[in-house]
């Protein structure tokens, strides 16, 4: 059922077009692509060009003076600013920790779900649900009913283990936010790894069993290598979303206490909404984009490998 697009699709015997595509034919092919292409260029690229422009301007919402050119001074501020560097580091820590832990949990859950047992469908449904809960709702429900020091469910459940009214969001802020991110993204990883497990040819597993290989050895030597592209895909897509994590930070801790949970998205949000510093935020944004492009270049290469493109034909 679940297969990555492997290998090249057989090229059709009868080509639907002559070898050289005529100019008219070329435009006929391009035409359906243009609306989406133009749309995405206009909506996603123009704001970044404007960001680049403002990064060289001094522009504050709360100052009546019009924007004016100030050269690289926004960038100097960004690079000398400990708050920016701190939020950058926290972004990396938050993303990496939550993606890796969600993936490990996801592998464990997928292995569980790959077995036959009573009510497997229901268990699967329960496990994917956290991913479907609106992130804002998840953040607020965790912050209040779950983690509140005075009446939260977690403290009640942990009381037998000697935990007494811990104020999780002030004493373990970063950890709490990461836990919620893991809780929301583990189902995603589970589904992807499960698809990988179910695509594993059963005859190799049978053969390993006949040869007397233990369950652990089989998992390490056969299953994990088979899962590798699925794990890579999960980590890649998870990172794309989690690096932008904002909801949990804004609604659980508001970046605090202090700046303990201020990641890049929240930092940029603060710069615009509370410091009104469009120029400074733009420069920080440009630096963020450049860093993202460096990471994305690797990510895209990985993407190409994971997808193993079949040739589009015709």
Helix extents (H) in 114-218: 120-132, 135-141, 153-158, 168-171, 173-198, 202-210, 215-218
Question: Of 68-76, 93-101, 170-178, 268-276, which part binds other proteins (CB under 8 A)?
Answer: 268-276
Angle between helix 173-198 and helix 82-113 axes, rounded to 10 deg: 40
| Separation of alpha carbons 113 and 292, rounded Å | 35
Burial of 44 (0-12, 13-18, 19+ CB in 10 A): exposed
Instruction: Output 262-268 pairs: Cβ under 8 A, ≥24 positions apart.
Output: 262/83, 262/86, 262/87, 262/90, 263/87, 263/90, 263/91, 263/94, 264/87, 264/88, 264/90, 264/91, 264/288, 265/91, 266/87, 267/83, 267/84, 267/87
What's the rounded Cα separation, in Å, for the pair 166 and 146?
12
Q: Per-residue x/- marks for other proteins, 107-136, CB under 8 A?
A: --x--xx-xxxxxx-xxxxxxxxxxxxxxx
Q: Find the length of the chain.
A: 314
Size of the site for other proteins (CB under 8 A): 131
Within 67-106, the residues that bind other proteins by CB under 8 A are none
Residue 286 as a binder of other proteins (CB under 8 A): the answer is yes
CB nearer to other proteins: pick between 127 and 173: 127
Contact range with other proteins by CB under 8 A, out of 70-78, 82-90, 93-101, 143-151: 143-151
Residue of the chain from 7, 8, 9, 305 that contacts other proteins (CB under 8 A): 9
The reply on whether position 163 binds other proteins by CB under 8 A is no
Closest distance between other proteins and the C-beta of residue 257, in Å? 18
Interface positions, 34-73, toward other proteins (CB under 8 A): 35-37, 39-40, 43-48, 50-51, 53-54
Query: Minimal distance in Å, beta carbon 132 to other proteins?
Result: 4
Q: Could you tell me the smallest distance in angstroms from the CB atom of residue 180 to other proteins?
A: 9
The residue (of 128 and 260) whose beta carbon lies closer to other proteins is 128
Which of 7, 71, 145, 257 contacts other proteins by CB under 8 A? Answer: 145
Nearer to other proteins, 28 or 170 (CB): 28
The answer to whether the beta carbons of residues 180 and 94 sit under 8 Å apart is: no
Q: Which 204-233 positions form the footprint of other proteins (CB under 8 A)? A: 204, 207-208, 210-214, 217-218, 221-222, 230, 233
Q: Which residue lies nearer to other proteins by CB, 83 or 299?
A: 299
**Stretch in the footprint of other proteins (CB under 8 A) among 33-41, 79-87, 94-102, 166-174:** 33-41
To other proteins, the closest distance from the beta carbon of 100 in angstroms equals 18
- How many other CB atoms sit within 10 Å of the CB of residue 94? 22
């Amino acid at each position: 059922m679940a297969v990555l697009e492997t290998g090249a699709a057989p090229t059709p015997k009868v080509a639907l077009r002559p070898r050289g595509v005529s100019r008219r034919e070329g435009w006929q092919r391009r035409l359906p692509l243009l609306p989406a292409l133009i749309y995405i260029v206009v909506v996603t690229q123009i704001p970044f060009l404007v960001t680049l422009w403002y990064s060289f301007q001094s522009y504050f919402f709360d100052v009546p003076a019009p924007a004016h050119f100030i050269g690289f001074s926004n960038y100097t501020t960004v690079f000398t600013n400990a708050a920016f560097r701190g939020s950058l580091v926290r972004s990396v820590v938050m993303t990496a920790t939550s993606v890796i832990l969600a993936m490990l949990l996801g592998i464990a859950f997928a292995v569980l779900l790959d077995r036959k047992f009573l009510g497997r469908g229901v268990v699967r449904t329960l496990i994917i649900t956290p991913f479907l809960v609106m992130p804002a709702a998840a953040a607020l429900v965790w912050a209040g009913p779950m983690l509140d020091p005075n009446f939260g469910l977690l403290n009640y459940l942990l009381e037998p283990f000697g935990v007494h009214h811990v104020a999780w969001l002030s004493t373990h802020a970063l950890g709490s936010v990461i836990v919620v991110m893991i809780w929301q993204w583990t189902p995603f990883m589970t589904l992807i790894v499960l698809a990988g497990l179910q695509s594993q040819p059963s005859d190799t597993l049978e053969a390993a069993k006949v040869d007397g290989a233990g369950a652990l050895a089989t998992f390490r030597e056969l299953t994990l290598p088979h899962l590798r592209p699925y794990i890579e895909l999960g980590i890649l897509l998870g990172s794309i979303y989690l690096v932008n994590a904002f909801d949990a930070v804004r609604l659980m801790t508001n970046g605090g206490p202090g700046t303990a949970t201020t990641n890049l998205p929240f930092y940029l949000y603060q710069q615009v909404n509370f410091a009104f510093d469009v120029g400074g935020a733009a420069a920080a944004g440009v630096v963020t984009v450049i860093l993202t492009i460096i990471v994305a270049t690797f990510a895209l290469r990985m993407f190409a490998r994971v997808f193993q493109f079949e040739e589009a034909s015709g």
